[in-house]
Structure 1
Amino acid sequence: MRRSLPALAAVAALAAVALPAQASNYVTEPTHTAAMFEIDHFGAGVNRVRFDKEEGTIQFDPAAKTGRVELSIDAASLSSGVAPFDRHLKSAEMFDAEKHPTIKFVGDKFHFDGSKVSAVDGQLTIKGKTHPVTLKATKFACYQSPMLKREVCGGNFEATVDRTQWGLDYGLGMVTGKDVKLIATVEAVKQ
């Protein structure tokens, strides 16, 4: 019995709809992934600090509009460009990097604007304290990398948080306020 081409196409379409969507796995690409923060300095300027070591995994299903991200940041890898300031930030008065070497973000709810990720809700852990944070996307795209010959998805994400939630209280009301702008630029390669 011969089946017509339209009938085969219909069967294939039904099979595609009936199969559950599968999330693809991605691993962060270190040369295009960075975490940083900005904080006011006496109202005269902004201090910017970057973390130089981070790694993460992402499960992403754009069709189902779901995902999960786990990003780990080495607290001792922070760099402001000023060594004495870096030492202070790593000290027990601030990040206490020796006792709490890892900063972690785990996001398990992706929001979309059309086909693009617009935000990720998750939990941010600093100094052993965990609080909810929503990272809003200012950019997001997936593309076929000409160098890696694989799909890469990534974006720039931002949030403003109250640093005192994590016990980062030094200089409060003297040097600076509570608000800190978090910036995460992430690109991840499909595995």
Structure 2
Amino acid sequence: MKTAYAAASLAAFLLAPALTADAFADPREYAFDKTHTTIRATWDHLGLSFQSLHFTDFDGVLLLDFDSPENSTVDVTFNLEGGYWVGPDQGRFEAHLASDDLFHVAEHPTARFVGTRFETEDGETGLMTGDLTLLGQTHPVTLEVTLNQRGPHPMGGHEVAGFSATGVIQRSQWGMGFAVPAVSDDIRIDIETELSLVTADE
């Protein structure tokens, strides 16, 4: 398997057949359409329910080569100082997320994902492996990626690509062991993203 995806991600994240070989022969820069990008982390809360947070403040460099995915680059940084939405009780939960129990934002205000390997067999589904740096530690993460569609935007005409990605991490790997196992160590990452090709006049 060999592909590329951007992700945050968070990802982000990237696979596809080329529209024309000469148009996409080299890595091209894509940007997140943040209005249509969701990066969600979900966990088991005490066996009672599954709870989630959405990362809302992120950006990255997405250089994608659909003909030769191994030439692609995905590098996304997340702001952890309030860069997420957790629901109606935002204030209380945000304070806990920022504390030493979890993100410890006083010392580690950002997280970063860098894609290191892209694999696909069919150009539509595949794996993206990368390094996630969180709480000052870096560990590998693998995401399953699906290309949903690629081509001219149905409404705007500009070049776009849409992806879904999912994976599971164990938060204790990064030293975030608060309340494990009552609150699950496994964190499911789900990404839905639309990317736009950056043109010379942007």
Tell whether the structures are fold-level matches, with TM greater than 0.5.
Answer: yes
SS in 2 for 1:98: coil
* Per-residue CA distance 1:18-38 (angstroms, 9 max, x = gap): xx9311111212112232200
Asked if residue 186 in structure 1 is aligned to residue 186 in structure 2, the reply is no
Cα distance in structure 1, aligned partners of 2:100 and 2:168: 23
Q: Which residue of 1 aligns with 2:115?
A: 107
The one of 76, 98, 117 aligned to 1:71: 76
Q: Which residue of 1 aligns with 2:35?
A: 31
TM-score (norm 2): 0.78
Specify the code of the residue in structure 1 equivalent to 2:29. N
* Per-residue CA distance 1:71-100 (angstroms, 9 max, x = gap): 111112122112212210111210112321
Q: Cα offset for 1:138?
A: 4.4
TM-score (norm 1): 0.82
Cα distance in structure 2, aligned partners of 1:141 and 1:168: 36
Q: In 2 relative to 1, CA 139–61 (structure 1 residues): closer, same or farther, beyond 3 Å?
A: closer
Asked if residue 97 in structure 1 is aligned to residue 97 in structure 2, the reply is no
Cα distance in structure 2, aligned partners of 1:150 and 1:44: 45
Asked if residue 125 in structure 1 is aligned to residue 133 in structure 2, the reply is yes
Asked if residue 151 in structure 1 is aligned to residue 159 in structure 2, the reply is yes
Cα distance in structure 2, aligned partners of 1:190 and 1:117: 20
- Structure 1 runs of 4+ aligned residues shifted over 3 Å read 146-149
The structure that is helix-richer by fraction is 1
Cα distance in structure 2, aligned partners of 1:73 and 1:110: 21
Q: Which residue of 1 aligns with 2:49?
A: 45
Q: In 2 relative to 1, CA 107–133 (structure 1 residues): closer, same or farther, beyond 3 Å?
A: same
Q: How many residues align?
A: 173
Q: Which residue of 2 aligns with 1:170?
A: 178
Unaligned runs of 5+ in 1: 1-15
Unaligned runs of 5+ in 2: 1-20
Identity among equivalent pairs (%): 28
CA RMSD of aligned residues (A): 2.0
SS in 1 for 2:96: helix
Asked if residue 136 in structure 1 is aligned to residue 144 in structure 2, the reply is yes
Q: Cα offset for 1:146?
A: 4.0
Cα distance in structure 2, aligned partners of 1:32 and 1:64: 26
Specify the code of the residue in structure 1 equivalent to 2:64. F
The one of 56, 61, 65 aligned to 2:60: 56
Q: Determine which structure has greater relative contact order: mean sequence separation of CA pairs < 8 Å that are 6+ residues apart, divided by chain length.
A: 2
Judge which range, 37-46 or 132-141, deviates more: 132-141
Q: Which residue of 2 aligns with 1:3?
A: none
SS in 1 for 2:191: strand
Cα pair 2:147 2:161 within 8 Å, conserved:
no
Cα pair 1:35 1:54 within 8 Å, conserved:
no
